[in-house]
Structure 1
Amino acid sequence: MSVFRKSRFGFTLVELLVVIAIIGVLVGLLLPAVQAAREAARRMSCSNNFKQLGLGIHNYHSAYKQLPIHQGGTSGVGADWSGGGAASNRESLSMLVGLTPFIEQQAIWEQISNPFSTASQGGTPIIYPAMGPAPRNNGLTSGDPDRYGPWHTELPTLRCPSDPGVGLPSHGRTNYAACLGDSPYRGTAGGTDAGLNHPSGLAQQTSASMRGAFVPREIKRFRDILDGLANTLIMGEITTDLGDRDTRTLPAIDLDLTTPANVLPTGCSRHAGINAARPQFWSPGATTTGTPNARGYRWASGFPVFTVMNTILPPNSPVCTSAAAEDDTTGGGAAVMGFNSRHGTGFLPPSSRHQGGCHVLMSDGAVKFVTDSIESGNQNQTPVHFQGTGFAVAGSQSSYGLWGSLGTRASKEVISEDF
């Protein structure tokens, strides 16, 4: 009599553990690759947004024979640009507002360029005039600009997918900012005083220091960019604040522009308020603008903290501003008088959530990626200003190396290296 034995098929416990271990290793190897692929896609999308902005700027110039005005808009008789209210926007709109119909945002442009009605707290309609109010108040009182819908609208073209920032306390975020050159002086109001007058003294100060493609409250054209469109940066990427006291997104307040000798880029990049244990964050005791006045928080506002970058400190460096706006009604100097920290100007480098650098938009429409290590010259040199001497005298080539040279429109620097 023969005996038949049934064969049993299966895994032993050891084999099963080996298989699980192999799968775990493969997943561990695959996840970083997936994350890298996702970031590459986000970075490409961010670059495409910038290309759309560049195309929009060129189409705007073709239509109006000028660049969109930064710090433009409406003003009333004797209007004080530092005030609030709904009567006008006190020439405080960013260049992004005029660009909206050229970046496939015709619908919101129709709302902005026509009277806009909304309800107040008591239910009484508020009729905002064309071009809206100044996009900067924080309260919810009757007639407050915070009730003006278009300024709160998030525009996808203005957002980088790598930036996770969303929602309050921002009022419509942007990751793209106008370049004002390689000096902070007159970066808030350009050649105007608090009453929106144009004293000759302020015009001289602005002409000496505001050397970028955009100048606050001035008309600029491509023909003004004598260094060449391909050699001049017109916009840069900025990352928005996440409420974590990031040195790139929450400006420290410590610049006194009335004392040029103390206005040094190294003073910001080596600021005493930087947390020694976490160098990318401010320590709790550092004096900052406060979260409502953080980088990129209002795409419609032309104030530097929201929509301006300059080519002084290299990308992803700390941000520092003056305590308040330049408001020299006499035109005699670079006085700083007290309104609000959001009006301040200062060292405003571009930044991003991409690894190692950020995107910039050249005046010819090309989008390039600039690394944090770009050659940035002498960071112990004061910026160019009206009463400057030596390397800071008006008309000098930029002291901030290749990086500074890319920000100036007509300083006759020779760009002899790639970046």
Structure 2
Amino acid sequence: MISHLPPRFRRERVGFTLIELLVVIAIIAVLIALLLPAVQAAREAARRMQCTNNMKQLGLALHNYLGTNNVLPPAAQGGMSYVYMNYTGYSFLLPYIEQTSAYNTFNFNLVSSAGIQGWSEWGNSTGFALQFGVFLCPSNRATGEVGATTSNGWSVPKAAVTDYLFNGGANRYVVKGFGETGRSGPFGFDTATTLAELSDGTSNTFLMGESVGGNQRNKYYASGSGASRVCLPLANYNTAVPVYYDNLMYMAYGRSRTWTQGGVAARIIGALVGRTVDSVGFPYKLNDCGSESYTDVSIAAPGAPAPAEAQKLTNFRSAHPGTTNFLFGDGGIRAIKDSIAPSVYQGLSTMGGGEVLSSDSY
């Protein structure tokens, strides 16, 4: 039936105009923009909490090891000239994080004909690839990225890595008996530190700190030392071969290493020990670019004068904006700000430096 009503009384369907639609879309976009940072912040808070829990577990493992053996484990032990070591402290901690079966995959009696580099013997290839989440910061990654074929003929698709390094203190050397021993940290090569040696107090001494690995997080590396130290792109390290920055936690080797990665020669740089000074004792800021590891010494006898050449070691840095988590000797985990004064930072890293520190200063 045809309606005879005037036009003003007829009902007509009216849709959104283009302007109204754009306004609605703009409002939704603003709401999403406001919500997204909150979601990301919540996720980072959860990851940070998991990172803290990881370090708490490692702290319990270190104290249980200490209770069993009366000493803390070495960062690496049993080598020649303190560079070609046999095994690392990370493998010694496995039974104390409920990974006894993984610990049993290592044959600690294996060494080369020269009595060194037991970690690289073929019988330890299975253990070399065993990765556990407790050693990784979730804000950084969930797995390692370095695969390798060693000169002994065995391969791993991905080597086990760690984002948490042992504290070597503010000594220019991490070899036991060398350098400024009063400024040493609790961990080094062939160390066996007792609780009594933490004379600065367990609540004033780092045991471990974050030092995140992986090329995604480490775009730069430290070149030079002292006031001339600069951060250069990782790609500039050695243009002849690819470079991977990572902390291979079972590789007891005190310097960067070249091996085969995917059938191609590659350079692996990283460390087992972190430090608060560089190779000449110059302050290393938190979250500065990382350095390669190079711990050779020319005088092997313990107690002999320190050699003239300095040792390169990496520093502490994190994936958390503005702070880095540290495990203290009392088992506590504290987030240290990047802005911490160098003297306080170094004082917390030494175990017997005698520094007087206030908790208000960090």
1:148 to 120, 125, 133: 125
**Corresponding residue for 2:93?**
99
How has the CA–CA distance of structure 1 residues 156 and 178 changed in structure 2, closer, same or farther, with 3 Å as cutoff? Answer: same
Q: Is the deviation greater in 297-306 or in 32-41?
A: 297-306
Give, in whole Å, the separation in 2 of the partners of 1:215 and 1:323.
13
How has the CA–CA distance of structure 1 residues 27 and 171 changed in structure 2, closer, same or farther, with 3 Å as cutoff? Answer: same
CA contact (8 A) 1:133 1:148 kept: no
Give, in whole Å, the separation in 2 of the partners of 1:320 and 1:209.
23
Letter in 2 for 1:94: T
**Corresponding residue for 1:267?**
228
Match runs of 1:1-150 below 5 Å: 3=5, 5-8=10-13, 10-72=15-77, 90-91=85-86, 93-112=87-106, 134-135=118-119, 144=122, 148-150=125-127
Q: After superposition, what is the alpha-carbon deviation per residue over 1:353-392, rounded to whole angstroms, capped at 9, x for unaligned?
A: 110121111000111111111100xxxxxxxxxxxxxxxx
The gaps in structure 2 that reach 5 residues or longer are 148-157, 256-269, 278-283
Letter in 2 for 1:43: R
Letter in 2 for 1:371: K
CA contact (8 A) 2:144 2:214 kept: no
CA contact (8 A) 1:239 1:353 kept: yes
How has the CA–CA distance of structure 1 residues 242 and 110 changed in structure 2, closer, same or farther, with 3 Å as cutoff? Answer: same
How has the CA–CA distance of structure 1 residues 335 and 370 changed in structure 2, closer, same or farther, with 3 Å as cutoff? Answer: same
How has the CA–CA distance of structure 1 residues 17 and 333 changed in structure 2, closer, same or farther, with 3 Å as cutoff? Answer: closer
C-alpha displacement of 1:236:
0.6
**Corresponding residue for 2:273?**
308
Asked if 1:212 is matched to 2:185, the reply is: yes
Asked if 1:168 is matched to 2:146, the reply is: yes
Q: Tell me how many residue pairs correspond in the alignment.
A: 321
Give, in whole Å, the separation in 1 of the partners of 2:126 and 2:250.
13
CA contact (8 A) 2:165 2:209 kept: yes
- TM-score w.r.t. structure 2 length? 0.76
What is the RMSD of the two structures over their aligned residues, measured on CA atoms?
A: 3.4
Q: Which is richer in strand?
A: 2
How has the CA–CA distance of structure 1 residues 297 and 71 changed in structure 2, closer, same or farther, with 3 Å as cutoff? Answer: closer
CA contact (8 A) 1:163 1:239 kept: yes
Q: After superposition, what is the alpha-carbon deviation per residue over 1:324-381, rounded to whole angstroms, capped at 9, x for unaligned?
A: 6123246444155xxxxxxx832522011110121111000111111111100xxxxx
C-alpha displacement of 1:12:
3.1
CA contact (8 A) 1:96 1:300 kept: no
Structure exhibiting the larger radius of gyration computed from Cα positions: 2
**Corresponding residue for 1:358?**
324
- Aligned residue for 2:43, secondary structure, equals helix
How has the CA–CA distance of structure 1 residues 157 and 300 changed in structure 2, closer, same or farther, with 3 Å as cutoff? Answer: farther
Letter in 2 for 1:357: T
Match runs of 1:325-404 below 5 Å: 325-329=296-300, 331-336=304-309, 345-376=311-342, 401-404=343-346
How has the CA–CA distance of structure 1 residues 347 and 367 changed in structure 2, closer, same or farther, with 3 Å as cutoff? Answer: same
**Corresponding residue for 1:416?**
358
Asked if 1:235 is matched to 2:208, the reply is: yes
How has the CA–CA distance of structure 1 residues 232 and 358 changed in structure 2, closer, same or farther, with 3 Å as cutoff? Answer: same
- Aligned residue for 1:39, secondary structure, equals helix
Give, in whole Å, the separation in 2 of the partners of 1:156 and 1:180.
23
**Corresponding residue for 1:119?**
none
How has the CA–CA distance of structure 1 residues 60 and 96 changed in structure 2, closer, same or farther, with 3 Å as cutoff? Answer: same
Identity rate of aligned residues, in percent? 28
CA contact (8 A) 1:321 1:346 kept: yes
Give, in whole Å, the separation in 2 of the partners of 1:166 and 1:333.
35
- TM-score w.r.t. structure 1 length? 0.67
The gaps in structure 1 that reach 5 residues or longer are 84-89, 117-126, 138-142, 192-202, 256-263, 276-280, 337-343, 377-400
How has the CA–CA distance of structure 1 residues 133 and 111 changed in structure 2, closer, same or farther, with 3 Å as cutoff? Answer: farther
CA contact (8 A) 1:95 1:302 kept: no
Give, in whole Å, the separation in 1 of the partners of 2:27 and 2:335.
38
